[in-house]
Amino acid sequence: MASEHERAPLLRSHASEEEDGSAPAGPTGSRSARRSRWTACVGLLGVVALVPLAARLAPRGAAAGAPVRALALDECRVRNVSAAPGGFTVVLNTFRRNACLRLAFEHWARCDAVRQVRVSWSDIARPPPTWLQACAAAEPDRFVVDVYHFNRLSNRFRPLPAAPSDALFSVDDDVFFACELAAEAHARWAALRTGARGGPTPHRAATGEGASTGAGPMVGFAPRLLRPSGGYNWMASFRAPFRKNTLFATKGAFLHRDDYALLWQPRFSQLVEQVDRHTTAEDISLSVIFAAARGLPPVHVAAHASQVTDLCCTGSTELADGLAAVSPPSVAAREADPVCRAAKGGTLHWRTADFRDAIQREAVRLAGDTIYRLNVSAVSVLPSTLRALANASEPRSPAQAYFRKRLVAVR
């Protein structure tokens, strides 16, 4: 496992004996990409006049024609934001989608229940953007950038012993959830972990070196039903009877920080190598290993469409790196939007789909098939979501259509 040391007050540098320039190509691009020229973007007061583009950055449900602000690319805009003690840590994974990163980062930074925001930075060709470095320098206990010196997809699940909270919320940079809903989901996770009497919830401990001491199920927003034959239908868990046997931690899920050690047990080293080589299935691998270690079904937390911002992000190595980020209000709008077509049509997921089933089979061979015996249909609808449903303009619908029409499917 990589060693950790302080390179500067603002960035956490992660290096290992593998830092020799021979690391495989990473999530979305080659290492020869040019460094962004952020300082060239800064005009008067550090503000770039990108109103036509910024007008497309309104979150899902925003009123048409609502005022938008231009992007200040060099400044930290979330300084001195209070955080409640005992909250959770957001582990935000990103790769060359700086507009989406900024929107997601600033959202999580403003949530009272978020104790720390940690950005997992694996782009060995370029440094983090200046605004992110400014935030980390201004409040090093609140904002941390984990800079890895080797480009691996598995970096996002590397153990974080320095995290200030037991609860880690893992999520990508292209989706974020309402602060109130995330806080409620965290409270649900904490209650399930401690149990009604204050003792640890019964769980099956992991075996072997690096075993996790965390207790309780995974709690999150993106359920999946993995099939023994391999693969999954991502929409199956959002239609009656809402069956699922895992959550994809990449799309928003709470884990105990000790659970991150599960993936790094020596017996899974070749599995991790396959994940990194093919740049896929880190979510499936963690799901299978977590299920075997815990033996507990996932807890799916429902989210109303108004509580989710789902972004389409495009990457670029040019001056305005990753500035194309949009949030269409519906699936139809997403399919019609050219940015979304460019971002989703040729995604890494589809380019690497052929390897996912093989990695899933290997994970099951190594960890066991517990995951296939954890099928559940329950869905947790928390108070803020109930209020969102009550305030929704659409009419009430039968139970079978409830989640399809009024609750969003996190893909």
Q: What is the pLDDT of residues 128-143, one digit of tens each?
A: 999 999 999 999 999 9
Say which residues have a Cβ less than 8 Å from residue 199's Cβ, sequence separation at least 6: none
| Cα–Cα distance, 58 to 364 (Å, whole number) | 42
| Cα–Cα distance, 336 to 346 (Å, whole number) | 15
On the question of pLDDT at 72 being above 80, the answer is no
On the question of pLDDT at 352 being above 90, the answer is no
User: Band of the pLDDT at 22, cuts 50, 70, 90?
Assistant: very low
Check residue 311 and give left, alpha or beta (phi > 0: left; psi -120 to 50: alpha): beta
Closest C-alpha to 204, from 195, 191, 217: 217
Q: Above pLDDT 90, what percent of the chain? A: 51
Q: Around Cβ 4, how many Cβ atoms within 10 Å?
A: 16
Residue 75: the pLDDT is 82
What single-letter amino acid sits at 116?
Q
Residue 354: the pLDDT is 83
> Any idea what DSSP says for residue 65?
T
Largest CA distance in the chain: 60
pLDDT, one tens digit per residue, over 395-407 is: 443 333 334 445 6
The number of residues making up the chain comes to 411
Q: What is the mean pLDDT of residues 33-51?
A: 29
Query: Which residue bears the tokens 């934001």?
Result: 81
Residue 296, CB-side half-sphere exposure with 13 Å CA sphere: 22
> Any idea what DSSP says for residue 200?
P
Say which residues have a Cβ less than 8 Å from residue 8's Cβ, sequence separation at least 6: none
Contact 123, 95 (CB under 8 A): yes
Residue 342: the pLDDT is 66
Residue 214: the pLDDT is 55
Most confident segment among 15-24, 151-160, 339-348, 353-362: 151-160
Closest C-alpha to 128, from 154, 160, 102: 102
φ, ψ of residue 177 in degrees (nearest 5)? -120, 155
On the question of pLDDT at 104 being above 90, the answer is yes
The two structure tokens encoding residue 81: 């934001």
Q: Which residues pair with 251 in a beta bridge?
A: 171
Residue 293: the pLDDT is 95
Residue 312: the pLDDT is 79
| Cα–Cα distance, 385 to 380 (Å, whole number) | 10
Residue 61: the pLDDT is 31
In DSSP notation, 130-182 reads HHHHHHHHH-TTTEEEEEESS--GGGGGS--TT-SSSEEEEEETTEEE-HHHH
- How far, in Å, are 33, 95, 229, 327, 340 from residue 315 at the CA level? 11, 8, 34, 16, 12
Mean pLDDT of the chain: 75
Q: What is the mean pLDDT of residues 102-126?
A: 96
User: Band of the pLDDT at 343, cuts 50, 70, 90?
Assistant: low
**pLDDT: which is higher, 30 or 49:** 30
Angle at 157 between CA 153 and CA 160, to 5 degrees: 135
pLDDT, one tens digit per residue, over 308-330 is: 988 877 654 333 443 445 566 56
Say which residues have a Cβ less than 8 Å from residue 357's Cβ, sequence separation at least 6: 230, 231
Lowest mean pLDDT among 46-55, 83-92, 211-220, 232-241: 46-55
pLDDT, one tens digit per residue, over 272-312 is: 999 999 999 999 999 999 999 999 999 999 999 889 988 87
The two structure tokens encoding residue 202: 């019964």
> Any idea what DSSP says for residue 71?
E
Question: What's the CATH code, domain 3-24+70-305+354-406?
Answer: 3.90.550.10
**pLDDT: which is higher, 38 or 227:** 227
Angle at 380 between CA 376 and CA 382, to 5 degrees: 175
On the question of pLDDT at 120 being above 90, the answer is yes
On the question of pLDDT at 363 being above 50, the answer is yes
User: Band of the pLDDT at 122, cuts 50, 70, 90?
Assistant: very high
